[in-house]
A and B are shown apart, each in its own frame.
Chain A
């Protein structure tokens, strides 16, 4: 170990730094089917993300409070109840109120094509409809959800 002297001169990083992308997966509204949400959570875990799964029957307020406490970078919402036009924009709005407008919100479920442009205009980044593969969702998250500044 003849290199000790040289070692001492170089600054040592104090601690291993690793930014992990954290994503909240939630089920807003009243439908009780979370199999899809769980499968997506699992696929994202397998892609190396940290997933906070909040469970069923969440109000937009509950989801945004959890997102705030957990300091997430993205929120993925599964909606099968038909209430997406209300719930998704409300979550985006609440995030802005909490100064968390840079959190990427995406959704999936039974959402008519006609509703998608409207949701996008209201700040939902991406909407996935039935038939989407897990790979498409994982690729989307990799490319679009990054640690927030």
Chain B
């Protein structure tokens, strides 16, 4: 069964791929097993991350960038992430609205995902879904993060090239020295560059970049203005993306990137699985509620409990 799915996905079958992505998002065990077989067929796609504050124009920029890549004849997958409501668990995924002109293009596959409580700017399933698009044979996979603040930088570990989209007027120059998303940019995009203050924003970012120390041959993030709605500046942006891509794929860099990415993939999966196993074990033995109540009432402390769970549950299993 899953052999058939693997073949269908690799042949680019939209329905099979869409279902597999959905099953991965929903955490269906059979889909995880399929992914194990697909993994060896991944690693071919170029992965472009686009992040920035809500309303910065990320979706519109994705739309314009897709148009450029399609003009080059490249096939594109888009993974667009929007937030899940912490109250209802529901979500409105609206990034597609800006990408309508690509709906009927067979060379473009758009998948919307909700964060489902995952922090960091991506959904828990993002890496899995990117892997499926990669296995489908997409040349480029674009990940649009949820609108982020300052600290949601998970994308840096997934994408080869990271665009940070900034708009004029979001804050004074002190914002530009803050840590977080401003540190992860391979390319800064000052979108809505027709607005007042765009030059100021560009200069602030350039100043910030110039204060960093770079080694010889190290990539220095450029700052590019765009007007995503009209497409102005997008051609130049895509050229710069290609230059960064060439930089990432030179000897030495790409090996390091792949090792870092493999480390992240392993750690992320461990984090999820270990947590689920620990919580599952506690629940199954009816211990979870009592422990939570004990901690809440300050009868026990969480530090000792975590230590016990880790030592007993995982150490024993690893050795065995």
CA of A52 to CA of B103, assembled, Å: 14
User: In the complex, which of the residues A16, A18, A52 has the most CB atoms of chain B within 10 Å of its own CB atom?
Assistant: A52
CA of A80 to CA of B100, assembled, Å: 21
Residues A15 and B90 in contact in the complex (CB < 8 Å), given A53-B97, A65-B104? no
Q: Chain B: how many interface residues by the 8 Å CB criterion?
A: 49
CA of A46 to CA of B84, assembled, Å: 10
Pick 14 A–B contacts, CB within 8 A, sort by A.
Answer: A3-B287, A12-B277, A14-B32, A15-B276, A22-B22, A41-B92, A44-B90, A45-B92, A46-B90, A47-B88, A48-B89, A66-B103, A69-B109, A70-B110
Asked if A68 is an interface residue, CB under 8 A from chain B, the answer is yes
Chain B 100-120 interface 0/1 with A at a Cβ cutoff of 8 Å (1 = within): 100110000111101010000
By beta carbon, the residue of chain A nearest B98 is A55
B280 near A3 with CB under 8 A, answer no
For chain B, residues 272 to 320, give those with C-beta under 8 angstroms from any C-beta of chain A.
272-273, 276-277, 280-281, 284-285, 287, 308-309, 312-313, 316-317, 320
B96 near A10 with CB under 8 A, answer no
Asked if B170 is an interface residue, CB under 8 A from chain A, the answer is no
Segment from B11-19, B68-76, B224-232 that makes contact with A: B11-19
Segment from B23-31, B39-47, B211-219, B251-259 that makes contact with A: B23-31
**Contact pick for B29, options A3, A17, A46, A52, CB 8 Å:** A17
Q: Chain A: how many interface residues by the 8 Å CB criterion?
A: 45
Residues A51 and B93 in contact in the complex (CB < 8 Å), given A1-B309, A15-B273? yes
B91 near A45 with CB under 8 A, answer yes
With a CB–CB cut-off of 8 A, which chain B residues contact A100? 15
The 8 A-B pairs at the shortest CB distance, nearest first, are namely A55-B97, A45-B90, A71-B22, A62-B103, A71-B18, A1-B312, A15-B27, A17-B27
CA of A92 to CA of B212, assembled, Å: 57
B284 near A7 with CB under 8 A, answer yes
Asked if A121 is an interface residue, CB under 8 A from chain B, the answer is no
CA of A7 to CA of B284, assembled, Å: 8
B26 near A19 with CB under 8 A, answer yes
CA of A18 to CA of B124, assembled, Å: 13
Q: Nearest-CB distance from A29 to chain B (Å)? A: 14
Q: Nearest-CB distance from B287 to chain A (Å)? A: 8
With a CB–CB cut-off of 8 A, which chain A residues contact B122? none
Q: Nearest-CB distance from A60 to chain B (Å)? A: 11
Q: Nearest-CB distance from A40 to chain B (Å)? A: 11
16 further contact pairs, Cβ within 8 A, besides A8-B317, A15-B273, A98-B15: A1-B313, A3-B285, A6-B285, A8-B320, A12-B276, A14-B273, A16-B276, A17-B26, A20-B116, A45-B85, A45-B88, A51-B92, A55-B97, A68-B15, A69-B14, A70-B111
CA of A70 to CA of B22, assembled, Å: 8
